[in-house]
C-alpha cells in the first residue's frame, strides 16, 4: 500500500442546485474554492443517472443509463486533478421506490436535491496512468 499523511484544513457543507449535474457541481465548487484534494459525502435525490462499471478484463468502462428518480444513499468520493481539470471521483448507491438499489461509479446525474460535506486537504493530488489497471490513480 502506498500512502502519505495529509493535513485537513477546510471543511464545507453545501446544498447542490436542482436540475444541475451532481458531479459537475462538485468539480465546479472545487475549482471555485481552489481545492486540489478532498474527500466528500453527499445525500439527496437525483432524477436520472449514468453509472460506470469498470470491466477489469477488458479494461474499459461500461456505461449504464437510468432514466428514473432515485434517492442518493449516499454518494462518496474524492477530489483530485486529472489532467488539467479537477475530477470528482464519485461512487454512489441509488435506491428506487421499492427499496432496490443500483450502485457504481457515478458519471452523471441530474440533481433533484442534494447536500454535501467536503473536507479539503492542504496538498495537491494528481492522478496518473497506472499501467497495471489502465486506470488513472494517485501516485502516492
Domain ranges, ordered by start, for the chain? 9-131
Q: What pLDDT was estimated at residue 56? A: 95
Q: Residue 50: what pLDDT?
A: 98
Helix (H/G/I), strand (E/B), else coil: 127: coil
Name the one residue in this structure whose C-alpha cell is 456505461: 63
Q: What are the cell numbers at 116?
A: 454535501
CA 91 – CA 140 distance, rounded (Å): 21
Other CB atoms within 10 A of residue 20 CB: 13
| Cβ atoms 128, 65 nearer than 8 A | no
Q: Helices marked H in 34-78 — which ranges? A: none
Cα 118 to its chain centre, rounded Å, is 11
Contacts (Cβ under 8 Å, ≥6 apart) of 34: none
Q: Which letter does DSSP use for residue 34 in this model?
A: T
Q: What is the pLDDT of residue 93?
A: 98
Nearest partner of 6 among 38, 29, 40, 32, judged by Cα:
38
What's the confidence (pLDDT) of residue 140? Answer: 84
Q: Which residue has cell 497495471?
A: 132
Full pLDDT tens readout for the chain, 140 residues: 778 788 877 999 999 999 999 999 999 999 999 999 999 999 999 999 999 999 999 999 999 999 999 999 999 999 999 999 999 999 999 999 999 999 999 999 999 999 999 999 999 999 999 999 999 999 88
Which CATH number does the domain 9-131 belong to among 3.60.20.10, 3.30.1330.80, 3.40.50.20, 3.10.580.10? 3.30.1330.80
| Ranges of H-type helices in the chain | 22-33
Amino acid at each position: 500500500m502506498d500512502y502519505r499523511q495529509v493535513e485537513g484544513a477546510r471543511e464545507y457543507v453545501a446544498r447542490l442546485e436542482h436540475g444541475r449535474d451532481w458531479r459537475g457541481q462538485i468539480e465546479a465548487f472545487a475549482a471555485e474554492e481552489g481545492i486540489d484534494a478532498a474527500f466528500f459525502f453527499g445525500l439527496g435525490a437525483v432524477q436520472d443517472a449514468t453509472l460506470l462499471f469498470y470491466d477489469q478484463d477488458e479494461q474499459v468502462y461500461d456505461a449504464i443509463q437510468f432514466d428514473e428518480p432515485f434517492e442518493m444513499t449516499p454518494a462518496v468520493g474524492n477530489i483530485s486533478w486529472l489532467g488539467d481539470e479537477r475530477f470528482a471521483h464519485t461512487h454512489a448507491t441509488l435506491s428506487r421506490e421499492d427499496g432496490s438499489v443500483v450502485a457504481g461509479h457515478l458519471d452523471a446525474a441530474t440533481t433533484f436535491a442534494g447536500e454535501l460535506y467536503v473536507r479539503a486537504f492542504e496538498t495537491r493530488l494528481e492522478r496518473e496512468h497506472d499501467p497495471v489497471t489502465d486506470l488513472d490513480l494517485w501516485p502516492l
